[in-house]
Structure 1
Amino acid sequence: MTVKLDFEECLKDSPRFRAAIEVVEGDVSELETRLEKLVKQCHSMLEAGKAYCQTNKSFVMGLKELGHHCSEDNMMGECLQKFSKKLEVILEAQGEVIEAIQKSVKLKLQTFVKEDVRRFKDVRKEFERGSEILEAALGRNAQAPRGKQHEVEEASNALLNARKTFRSGALDYVLQINVIEAKKKTDILMAMVSMMDAQSQFFQQGHQSLSELDEYRRSLSEEHTQLVLNSAREKRDMEQRHAAIKKKDVSYDNSLMDFCADAPNGIAMEGYLYKRASNAFKTWSRRWFSIQKNQLVYQKKLKEQPTVVMEDLRLCTVKVCSDNERRFCFEVVSPAKSCMLQADSEHQQQGWISAVQNSIASAFQERREDPNSPRERCSSVSGGSPGGGMYGEQEKMGGRQALEEVQAIPGNRQCCDCGEPGPDWASINLGITLCIVCSGIHRSLGVHFSKVRSLTLDSWEPELVRLMCELGNTAINRIYEARIDEMTIKKPHPSSPRGDKESWIRSKYVEKKFIQKLPETGRNIPLRRSSARRNRSNTQDRVSGSRPPLKPKPNRATLPRLTGLSQSDLVQKNNTGIHKDDENDEDDDLSGLHPGALLYRSAALQHFPVMADALAHGADVNWVNTAENASTPLIQAVTANSLAACEFLLQNGANVNTADSNQRGPLHHATILGHTGLVCLFLKRGADYNARDNNQKDPITIAVETANADIVTLLRIAKMNKEMREMDGAFGQSGDETYQDIFRDFSQMASNNPEKLKRRSTDFKS
């Protein structure tokens, strides 16, 4: 039996529980509507079937009478008698079908709607009534003045009784939800199986199509039988669990989660608090607060975007407010603002104060790169072997050097959007560095516009560091701020109000007001055409152990449009990305391409500013070149063996499983070319290692044929890890630590020591 809601979760009455309740109630309401409609349709069908059977009986009786009339003709009489008997048997079977449907479908579903759904609604009303009483009791308890002890005691007793009533009703409601979920499955399945049994018996002599459902019907019947047995056993276990939990004392104060800086979900502390508004009325509102990423945030409902109260707890302090009219108040203060909060009890007040203090201390420890801080501990674990081997030490050293290298890119020492010095945040899909204020605005845009990470608090993959070093604030601003001089728009500075910065960032990245409009004109810069053979040879000749030097690369603003082309040539060029007269040219001018084709060509050339410019002008990151085997920009980056280009496309939404006309995706091409680092990257991004090409070969088969032991190892480990997770079930681990360590080691070698991952055999022969 499927468990929709957990009993422990309902006692917290958290937004997660409320959101889950809303989903369940909507599902039950929709189920009731559909079942009522189905019952009405079933009734109409049965009435029509009875009328049909009655008319057919009259027809059969007429055949019999005609047979008696033609009895002198032996052939006619025998034919009519046999046909009338067969039809009579079929009509009797059809009458049995109608009776079976009446009992199995109509009555069963009608009973479920009238009894089970009505019982669910009654329990829901009791739950809602208890919730309203608890909310009122909480309000009276919070408003009880400190100096009037009798009112305090009265409010506390009322709150105690209300909490008992509410939690008892909540437990009953959760039980009813889980019971109706299980009963819904068994009743509907039983109705369907019974109806199909009757239909099969009716059509088995004359309807060949129903015979094809026999195996499925038997299988469904067996599954239903097993489901009934399992449901009965789990229902008994759940009732026992419900009874055991209900025996516990449910009058205790709301449980307070201990502070945990290394919480898996990133939430170090959460719970309900009253918040005093900053307006003139100073009203109090009850909100769900949490401490996450060294920020204090709150929300009213689960799906709402959290509101940030304190953006950086390192700048804050916390103190008890004993001079306030209300009890259990404390204040979180920063240089810019303060926030007055109220807990439900003294125990919760002390717990929140300690949590804020611990979060402040933890933030300072991470900032100082304390060896015992969570970030250092995470780095040591991600370093490779569980025993802290050679790769682990290399990764910790490489990570610190990589962060310094990102900050050393031209323009990266000031915030890309407001110019504040020393930015320690980054947008990884744009390749820019940001201050803490601008990073918060970028995060509010959504990950389809900007993916924000901390340069000091988050862990960084080596391929992501290489990507950041290929772009930078100067290159991106040449694209997204190309027309600010023409438009006489004033860029915000570090001391500008947050509203001005937010307006600027939305205009710059969402509305794209300042990019160069198409078509453009500029100086002619020839770009080398991509070629699979040339890129493959360049990849083998490239010195793999060092990162290529950063050099200025052309962007779209400096590329002129092609002129002198006929209309048919332009159509062909826009459709394929290649001019028909250019196919044998050594130099390829990309300036006249539409954004999709421009992204395709620049991905093979590894021109990151041009790729960024193409995306800024609306290029489809999964654009397909029909003239080159339906290849995509990601496949072009694979051909060039560019980890950074592949990472850039993936961060901007490229589909890692899009295949070409030979049904080969990026993982196939990386395996064929022996690019172990790219294989590792694609597997980490969820590539399908079971996909087969037109030769019915998956990547594992290709790797075995090419005798590439490293790639075979990666593919088989990925497959084994997935199978182990599936065996563990829905509540299993998200990934084995050894599996994660091996992939970290391969990522490190692909970025820092690629010569260790060279091919062991000749190229794959398709």
Structure 2
Amino acid sequence: MLVKQCQAMLEAGRVYCQTSKSFVNGLRDLGQHCSGDKTMEECLDKFSKKLSIVLEAQGEVIETTQKSVKTKLQNFVKEDVRRFKDVRRGFERGSECLEGALVRNAQAPRGKQHEVEEASNALLNARKTFRSEALDYVLEINVIEAKKKTDILMAMLSLMEAQAQLFQHGHQSFSELEEYRQKLNEEHTQFVLNSAREKRDMEQRHAAIKKKDVSYDDSIMDFNADAANGIAMEGYLYKRASNAFKTWSRRWFSIQKNQLVYQKKFKDQPTVVVEDLRLCTVKPSSENERRFCFEVVSPSKCCLLQADSERQQQAWISAVQNSIASAFQEHREDPHSPRQRLSSVSASSLGGGGGVDQENKGCKALEEVGAIPGNKQCCDCGEPGPDWASINLGITLCITCSGIHRSLGVHFSKVRSLTLDSWEPELIKLMCELGNTVINRIYEARIDEITIKKPHPSSPRGDKESWIRSKYVEKKFIQKLPGTGNTLLRRSSGKRNRAGTQDRTIQRPPLKPKPNRATLPRVTGLSPSDLVQKNNTHKDVEEDEEDLSGLHPGALLYRSAALQNFPVMADALAHGADVNWVNVAEESSTPLIQAVSANALAACEFLLQNGANVNQADSNGRGPLHHATILGHTGLVCLFLKRGADYNARDKNQKDPITIAVDNANADIVTLLRIAKMNKEMREMDGAFGQSGDETYQDIFRDFSHMASNNPEKLNRRSADPKS
């Protein structure tokens, strides 16, 4: 029992020492954190060192107890007590043998002399053995009693000696700190008095402050563009989420490095709201029911924010405006700074091979946009080297004019950077179809007849803004059209003679189809085999110029979309053409469906960028995606799916695009449609906050886009007859 208790004591002692060492390490770490407070640092350092010394001595006591007490007691029990028990068992066996011999001797019959002699001899031997074992047993008793005393006494003496040394060593160690402890005790007393005095003073100040009005807004909201840490402005704002729930969240916003960023927590990485404040505009928002709201409008998004007060709202609006002004000032001071093209504008968005070849093709495509007539100067002010573009107008802009275009709204101009944004191949192709010269012929047709002077690169921003609004919003400089009726187009694509055209003051030049592009008539509702036959017949007809001067803007857009004449399409839109105009005479077909009929990828992109409805169906219930699927235009199918076309829409025959593609045995289009459907289902499974799309899905669509723009012959169907 004593050995077990000793073992339990040793285990508890080791646990105590280990825990105490952890505590001492904690004191040492706390002293390092209090490096600014000399008193605390010195106190914790001295005490942790002394406690470490005591713990080391206590560990030595435990080891001594292990050797002197537990080991000796275990040896005594295992060896001496075991030997004593063996001798005792021998004595007990001899006693039993003697008892048996006495019984047999008493039972020996008197008349049988030989049995009497045998019993007597056995009794003598048993008595002799018993007395010998009795002597050994008595000896072993005396030996074990003596050894027990010596072993136990020696173990206790060793234990007491170790304990005495422990306490003597501990007393000596802590005695060395006696003066320091007295000094620290005095300092502690003074600290208590000072703390009580400070507490009383703070309570008095607190009571005095509570009597005053503390409801005022004391937040400091100053804009400092030259702040040492690079943060020109910071503070809390409410941000409305862009999800379907439109929830509001309080975030820490800051203006730094010419960007507007926010953080959810202090240690989180900042989330960029506006990458370049030069590209945004800020204005108060009164449409929202919440107070103190303002909008920061950038090329890609509109961020609605809310301050805590009207004062903070004005401060943030001023800060953003000042940041924009500071950024423009820096840009003017260093006009020749190198423009770096980001990796986002790489060959991955322009098709072709890989590696360096892709990058070279990307740069070549962007240079191709700049090579279009007039694109080397800003379309509105003439500043050389523009690196921004309006993708729905097809023009290049300087950074100042791009900011003004952005403030007009995306229904007038969609601004994108030629160097900072990624460009899809169909957008590159669209930009190369128009250009500043073409658009200015339309939007500045009457510039010589008016007194307003066109701004130049050094003109004030206000003059540029007034010019741009007059040019694109009010359209003061385009040729005004006389009133025209809702002309309905006929199926014939020959020359059109309309009454009253001689009286028009404005005559559009006749349209001539572009070389190497089929001027297809309306083909809605035709099967692929009928289309091939109709196209072959059409090729045999001489391509005459077509007079479209009598058409009103909607009909003009409709016809020019089929002919892929981008200047006339832009002209029609400038004169107010409805991009979703419906030709009732041709089964309610739209300009977008006409562009599909001609397999005009860039024309479709142009119409979509200008607000064409990708899901608007004709009288047969067929939208642009249906027609592209029927005609086997894989590139257009890819484009419409990327622009949100409904692949589940059914026509009057209850056929959706997937069914049509399967019937026509077009494996490429079936693949695109099924991948788009699977990708949408995956996003719905991930919930409202799922990823924007699977990487494989995006890669496949990107490859088809590249091929449709750069190698369209690879997407030609092997046969127009789905059964062949």
TM-score w.r.t. the length of structure 2 is 0.51
Separation in structure 2 between the aligned mates of residue 380 and residue 675 of structure 1, nearest angstrom:
23
One-letter amino acid matched to 1:674: G
* Residue of structure 2 in register with 1:138 after alignment: 219
Q: 1:595 to 1:761 in 2, by over 3 A?
A: same
Of 551, 562, 565, which aligns to 1:607?
565
Separation in structure 2 between the aligned mates of residue 634 and residue 368 of structure 1, nearest angstrom:
37
Contact 2:470 2:476 in 1 (8 A): yes
* Residue of structure 1 in register with 2:706 after alignment: 748
* Residue of structure 2 in register with 1:531 after alignment: 521
Of 332, 340, 354, which aligns to 1:368?
340
Q: CA deviation at 1:741?
A: 1.2
Separation in structure 2 between the aligned mates of residue 268 and residue 503 of structure 1, nearest angstrom:
23
* Residue of structure 2 in register with 1:673 after alignment: 631
Classify the secondary structure of the residue corresponding to 2:380.
coil
Separation in structure 1 between the aligned mates of residue 276 and residue 442 of structure 2, nearest angstrom:
39
Of 475, 499, 521, which aligns to 1:512?
475
* Residue of structure 1 in register with 2:460 after alignment: 497
Contact 1:706 1:763 in 2 (8 A): yes
Of 385, 403, 409, which aligns to 1:422?
385
Classify the secondary structure of the residue corresponding to 1:309.
helix
Q: 1:380 to 1:646 in 2, by over 3 A?
A: closer
One-letter amino acid matched to 2:510: I
* Residue of structure 1 in register with 2:363 after alignment: 400
Of 408, 412, 422, which aligns to 1:445?
408
Classify the secondary structure of the residue corresponding to 2:322.
strand
One-letter amino acid matched to 2:648: N
Classify the secondary structure of the residue corresponding to 2:646.
coil
Separation in structure 2 between the aligned mates of residue 298 and residue 729 of structure 1, nearest angstrom:
24
Separation in structure 2 between the aligned mates of residue 530 and residue 515 of structure 1, nearest angstrom:
30
Classify the secondary structure of the residue corresponding to 1:376.
coil
* Residue of structure 1 in register with 2:493 after alignment: none
- Over residues 514-542 of structure 1, what are the superposed CA-to-partner deviations in whole Å (9 max), with x where a residue is unaligned? 1001134337535467414799669999x
User: Following superposition of structure 1 onto structure 2, how do residues 9-20 of structure 1 map, counting pairs within 5 Å?
Assistant: none
One-letter amino acid matched to 1:309: N
Q: 1:749 to 1:540 in 2, by over 3 A?
A: farther
* Residue of structure 1 in register with 2:665 after alignment: 707
* Residue of structure 1 in register with 2:89 after alignment: none
**Number of equivalenced pairs:** 420
Separation in structure 2 between the aligned mates of residue 703 and residue 670 of structure 1, nearest angstrom:
10
Q: CA deviation at 1:466?
A: 0.7
Of 413, 419, 437, which aligns to 1:474?
437
* Residue of structure 1 in register with 2:35 after alignment: none
* Residue of structure 2 in register with 1:696 after alignment: 654
Contact 2:390 2:415 in 1 (8 A): yes
Of 602, 613, 619, which aligns to 1:661?
619
Separation in structure 2 between the aligned mates of residue 291 and residue 714 of structure 1, nearest angstrom:
35
- Over residues 531-570 of structure 1, what are the superposed CA-to-partner deviations in whole Å (9 max), with x where a residue is unaligned? 14799669999xxxxxxxxxxxxxxxxxxxxxxxxxxxxx
Q: CA deviation at 1:588?
A: 3.1
Q: CA deviation at 1:762?
A: 2.4
Contact 1:662 1:693 in 2 (8 A): yes
- Over residues 10-45 of structure 1, what are the superposed CA-to-partner deviations in whole Å (9 max), with x where a residue is unaligned? xxxxxxxxxxxxxxxxxxxxxxxxxxxxxxxxxxxx
Q: CA deviation at 1:644?
A: 0.6
* Residue of structure 2 in register with 1:431 after alignment: 394
Q: CA deviation at 1:731?
A: 1.8
Contact 1:622 1:633 in 2 (8 A): yes
Separation in structure 2 between the aligned mates of residue 757 and residue 439 of structure 1, nearest angstrom:
36
User: Following superposition of structure 1 onto structure 2, how do residues 144-159 of structure 1 map, counting pairs within 5 Å?
Assistant: none
* Residue of structure 1 in register with 2:717 after alignment: 759
Classify the secondary structure of the residue corresponding to 1:433.
strand
Separation in structure 2 between the aligned mates of residue 294 and residue 622 of structure 1, nearest angstrom:
24
Q: Does 1:638 align with 2:596?
A: yes
Of 487, 493, 506, which aligns to 1:521?
506
Separation in structure 1 between the aligned mates of residue 215 and residue 473 of structure 2, nearest angstrom:
44
Separation in structure 1 between the aligned mates of residue 629 and residue 358 of structure 2, nearest angstrom:
25
Separation in structure 2 between the aligned mates of residue 665 and residue 625 of structure 1, nearest angstrom:
14
Where structure 2 has 5 or more consecutive residues not aligned to the other structure, the ranges are 1-212, 224-234, 239-244, 248-262, 278-291, 483-504, 514-518
One-letter amino acid matched to 2:400: V
One-letter amino acid matched to 1:683: L
Separation in structure 2 between the aligned mates of residue 436 and residue 498 of structure 1, nearest angstrom:
11
Contact 1:314 1:364 in 2 (8 A): no
Q: Does 1:648 align with 2:606?
A: yes
Separation in structure 1 between the aligned mates of residue 595 and residue 467 of structure 2, nearest angstrom:
33
Separation in structure 2 between the aligned mates of residue 498 and residue 716 of structure 1, nearest angstrom:
50
Separation in structure 2 between the aligned mates of residue 494 and residue 761 of structure 1, nearest angstrom:
55
Separation in structure 2 between the aligned mates of residue 294 and residue 761 of structure 1, nearest angstrom:
42
Q: CA deviation at 1:488?
A: 3.1
Q: Does 1:309 align with 2:322?
A: yes
Classify the secondary structure of the residue corresponding to 2:469.
helix
Separation in structure 1 between the aligned mates of residue 629 and residue 306 of structure 2, nearest angstrom:
49
Q: CA deviation at 1:399?
A: 2.2
- Over residues 392-412 of structure 1, what are the superposed CA-to-partner deviations in whole Å (9 max), with x where a residue is unaligned? 766533321111000000001
- Over residues 80-107 of structure 1, what are the superposed CA-to-partner deviations in whole Å (9 max), with x where a residue is unaligned? xxxxxxxxxxxxxxxxxxxxxxxxxxxx
* Identity fraction in percent: 67
Q: 1:537 to 1:491 in 2, by over 3 A?
A: farther
Q: Does 1:736 align with 2:703?
A: no
Classify the secondary structure of the residue corresponding to 2:662.
helix
- Over residues 607-651 of structure 1, what are the superposed CA-to-partner deviations in whole Å (9 max), with x where a residue is unaligned? 101001101111000000011111000000000101110000000
Q: CA deviation at 1:308?
A: 4.0
One-letter amino acid matched to 2:340: R
Separation in structure 1 between the aligned mates of residue 373 and residue 522 of structure 2, nearest angstrom:
32
Separation in structure 2 between the aligned mates of residue 500 and residue 442 of structure 1, nearest angstrom:
13
Separation in structure 2 between the aligned mates of residue 368 and residue 142 of structure 1, nearest angstrom:
33
User: Following superposition of structure 1 onto structure 2, how do residues 234-633 of structure 1 map, counting pairs within 5 Å?
Assistant: 255-256=265-266, 307-311=320-324, 367-369=339-341, 375-376=342-343, 379=346, 390=353, 395-519=358-482, 520-522=505-507, 525=510, 527=512, 530-532=520-522, 587-633=545-591
Q: 1:397 to 1:704 in 2, by over 3 A?
A: farther
The CA RMSD measured in Å over matched residues stands at: 4.5
One-letter amino acid matched to 1:456: T
Q: CA deviation at 1:266?
A: 5.0
Q: 1:254 to 1:670 in 2, by over 3 A?
A: closer
Q: CA deviation at 1:309?
A: 3.2
Q: CA deviation at 1:315?
A: 6.8
Contact 2:520 2:597 in 1 (8 A): no
* Residue of structure 2 in register with 1:359 after alignment: none
One-letter amino acid matched to 1:591: S
User: Following superposition of structure 1 onto structure 2, how do residues 161-180 of structure 1 map, counting pairs within 5 Å?
Assistant: none
Separation in structure 2 between the aligned mates of residue 623 and residue 679 of structure 1, nearest angstrom:
21
Q: CA deviation at 1:458?
A: 0.6
Contact 2:347 2:361 in 1 (8 A): no
One-letter amino acid matched to 2:642: K
Separation in structure 1 between the aligned mates of residue 388 and residue 609 of structure 2, nearest angstrom:
16
Separation in structure 2 between the aligned mates of residue 294 and residue 602 of structure 1, nearest angstrom:
30
TM-score w.r.t. the length of structure 1 is 0.49
One-letter amino acid matched to 2:456: H
One-letter amino acid matched to 1:459: S
